[in-house]
Structure 1
């Protein structure tokens, strides 16, 4: 009886290890068009920009002047200048962060973030991989229903000419 129990335990442990190794081998890290070392990023970004874009940090709500900016233009990635959002898709969500109901096509990557204990949709620049913010399903119902909640320091505003 002890031998059977021991064999069952060994079989379970072996099968669990095998599955874990298979999952890890399928996960590959994306290579972005703009890639720099941490030292290079720190040379071109402020400490807050680096914290948000490269360490997936969050700026304090209501701290960005872009939160209440409603001029016509385009919002680009602070790190690599890729156009990410158009001003016509910006809305006041009341959250204290610049919010958009959609991104420019193929400019923003959706990823899964478990940093606070449950799954959230993380938004990253598709060119450099910089963390922008998160996507939620409480945006304007008349458009996409999405709210891209973006850290203002992750964006630079380029006014329409």
Structure 2
């Protein structure tokens, strides 16, 4: 019997605009490859079941929970991590409205909302609420996060 988990493959992942050639096992998640092999630690492990959103990255501009995506599934796609976002208005709004406390979930929220704003230039309140349910925060009451999102939309987000 062949053990597929012990047959590594050389793949190329395009992360934040840079091609990276890596050797990965077929069962390695994108989250762990980003963190352990590429030192992109902004995507964080949480539930590791796709529920909490702390591991959210963008794949071709859409939010994906990297803990439930295999690294080999990301071949041929553009992966964007929080490290690629430099001082965006959304990040500034999170600070302005204190949309964080411990900060553990913040990169996942920012990536998820960046995906929302990639898809909808002027999302409705209902769309914002729906997209926010994709991520958990154990510290805030979500109001500060919602205010940061609304402020970003009002200022023609970047």
TM-score class normalised by the smaller sequence: under 0.3
Q: Greater Rg, structure 1 or structure 2? A: 1
Q: Structure 1 or 2: larger strand share?
A: 1
Instruction: Specify which structure has the higher proportion of helix.
Output: 2
